[in-house]
């Protein structure tokens, strides 16, 4: 595999980014599984966690108001698993925060119900964090469940238009960039071993977001605060990508995804961009916004786009209050964290030649503007 681009490789077990040989013991680890309508996913997910044996001190499932047979399945087939059932569906942000708050231990393996861990994943994540006391989170590389030779997510950088510029999205595993343990800016909340105390100190997941961009938001706030995130490239998790109404299940773009994309992307940018960054990057942001509006109209979701924008304005007072707190605690500049490309789009969106040409043009325009805007950043 090629070395990572834009990420710093670490020198190996026992060596932190500054070259020290300090180590730490994470102590006992809790696994927290976020579940919603997961009766078809839970058996394999929980089975893989139980197979880890004494690597885990506990397994806690937070059920987010499921109406399927999830709770009955857990009671029948996994009686040793601790379950906290929420009465209503409040979204994965609330469910993950509940799990972090209720876990017994400081270090938590946060897992979505559609993730299946390999037998060595936790051992490798733990080793990476114990060898690097300055990091607060380590994630594995996820592969597409039905195409295990293809990378799904393994982190990335922050695109200035409010998206992840993912490192190896949908790239064949043998062509993926990065090896060993590397630093990344983006954490994808499929699976990760995290310091729950520090994550909660920084506000945890923003429950207003409900779903979509919630891991982008958390990653950005962690990095702005100067915290470090690791990606362990040879720790593999199979990801089934199964959130109802949000995940791509066919060639269409889900209606609910259009709403959350329209609202949440702007909420996160308003919180996390510095004011001057917003100003100088605004032309590029608006270019992307126009392209995305045209896409949602073509997909028949123009009304969802509009509802998302109206919802954004309803959340402005709270978002501005959070913005002040986040910016006051800033340790890194946008110039250090942001990139102008490449733009990451789902294969379902650019699967035809016309879509691919449009994506290349958009990427060229956005990166071109960033080349100008970046020179104006402090």
Asked if the model's pLDDT at residue 6 lies above 80, the reply is no
- DSSP letter (8 states) at residue 202: T
Residue 64: is its pLDDT beyond 80? yes
In the chain, count H helices and then E strands.
Answer: 12, 13
Give, as one character, the DSSP assignment of residue 36: S
Tens of pLDDT, residues 134-175: 999 999 999 989 889 999 999 999 999 999 999 999 999 999
pLDDT of res. 324:
97
- Give the mean pLDDT of 53-57: 98
**Confidence band for 254, pLDDT divided at 50, 70 and 90:** confident
Average pLDDT of the segment spanning 360-367: 95
Rounded CA separation 275/278 (Å): 5
Task: Report d(CA 148, CA 237) in Å as an integer.
Answer: 9
Burial string for 332-345 (b: 16+ CB within 10 Å, else e) reads eebeebbbbbbbbb
Give the pair of three-digit tokens for residue 239. Answer: 């990801």
pLDDT greater than 90 at residue 271: yes
Q: Domain residue spans in the chain?
A: 29-239, 255-376
CB 324 within 8 A of CB 274: no
Residue 195: which of 256, 252, 132, 120 has the closest Cα?
132
Per-residue pLDDT, 355: 79
Domain 29-239 has CATH 3.90.550.10: yes
Q: Do residues 124 and 52 touch, judged by C-beta distance below 8 A?
A: no
**Rounded CA separation 15/178 (Å):** 17
Residue 347, pLDDT score: 67
The answer to whether the CB of 160 falls within 8 A of the CB of 370 is yes
**pLDDT tens digits, one per residue of 77-110:** 999 999 999 999 999 999 999 999 999 999 999 9
Region of poorest pLDDT, from 26-30, 350-354, 356-360: 350-354
Is residue 77 within 8 A of residue 105, CB to CB? The reply is no
User: What is residue 95's DSSP assignment?
Assistant: H
**Rounded-to-5 percentages of helix, strand, coil across the chain:** 45, 20, 35
d(CA 140, CA 134): 18
* Secondary structure (3-state) at 211: coil
What is the helix (H) or strand (E) element at residue 123, kind and residue range?
helix 121-131
pTM score: 0.91
The strand pair at 29-35 and 107-112 is best described as: parallel
**CA-wise closest residue to 186 among 150, 222, 152:** 222
Cβ 27 vs Cβ 94: under 8 Å: no
Query: Which DSSP state fits 9?
Result: B
Query: 359 pLDDT exceeds 60?
Result: yes
First CA to last CA across the chain, in angstroms? Answer: 35
288's tokens: 């992307």
Out of 148-157, 237-246, 284-293, 331-340, least confident range:
237-246
Residue 24 has pLDDT above 90, yes or no: yes
């Amino acid at each position: 595999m090629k070395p990572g681009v834009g990420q710093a490789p670490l020198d190996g077990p026992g060596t932190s980014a500054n070259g020290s040989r300090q180590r730490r013991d994470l102590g006992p680890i809790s696994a927290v599984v976020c579940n919603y309508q997961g009766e078809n996913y839970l058996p394999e997910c929980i089975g893989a966690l139980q197979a880890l044996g004494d690597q885990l001190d506990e397994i806690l499932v937070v059920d987010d108001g499921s109406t399927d047979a999830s709770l009955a399945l857990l009671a029948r087939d996994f009686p040793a698993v601790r379950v906290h059932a929420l009465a209503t569906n409040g979204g994965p942000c609330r469910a993950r925060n509940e799990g972090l708050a209720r876990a017994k231990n400081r270090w938590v393996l946060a897992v979505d119900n559609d993730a299946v861990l390999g037998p060595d994943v936790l051992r490798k994540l733990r080793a990476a964090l114990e060898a690097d006391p300055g990091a607060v989170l380590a994630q594995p590389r996820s592969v597409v469940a039905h195409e295990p030779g293809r990378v799904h997510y393994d982190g990335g950088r922050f695109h200035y238009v409010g998206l992840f510029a993912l490192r190896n999205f949908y790239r064949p595993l043998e062509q993926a960039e990065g090896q060993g343990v590397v630093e990344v800016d983006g954490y994808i909340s499929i699976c990760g071993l995290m310091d729950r105390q520090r994550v909660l100190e920084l506000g945890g997941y923003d429950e207003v977001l409900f779903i979509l961009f919630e891991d982008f938001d958390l990653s950005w706030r962690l990095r702005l605060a100067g915290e470090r995130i690791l990606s362990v490239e040879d720790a593999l998790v199979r990801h089934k990508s199964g959130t109802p109404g949000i995940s791509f299940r066919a060639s269409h773009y889900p209606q609910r995804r259009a709403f959350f994309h329209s609202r949440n992307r702007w909420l996160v940018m308003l919180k996390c961009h510095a004011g001057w960054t917003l100003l100088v990057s605004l032309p590029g942001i608006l270019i992307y916004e126009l392209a995305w509006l045209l896409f949602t109209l073509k997909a028949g979701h123009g009304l969802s786009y509009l509802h998302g924008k109206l919802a954004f304005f309803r959340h402005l007072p709270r978002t501005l209050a959070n913005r002040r707190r986040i910016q006051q605690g800033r340790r890194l500049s946008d110039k250090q964290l942001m990139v102008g490309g490449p733009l990451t789009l789902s294969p379902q969106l650019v699967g035809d030649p016309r879509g691919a040409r449009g994506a290349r043009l958009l990427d060229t325009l956005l990166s071109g503007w960033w080349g100008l805007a970046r020179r104006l950043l402090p």
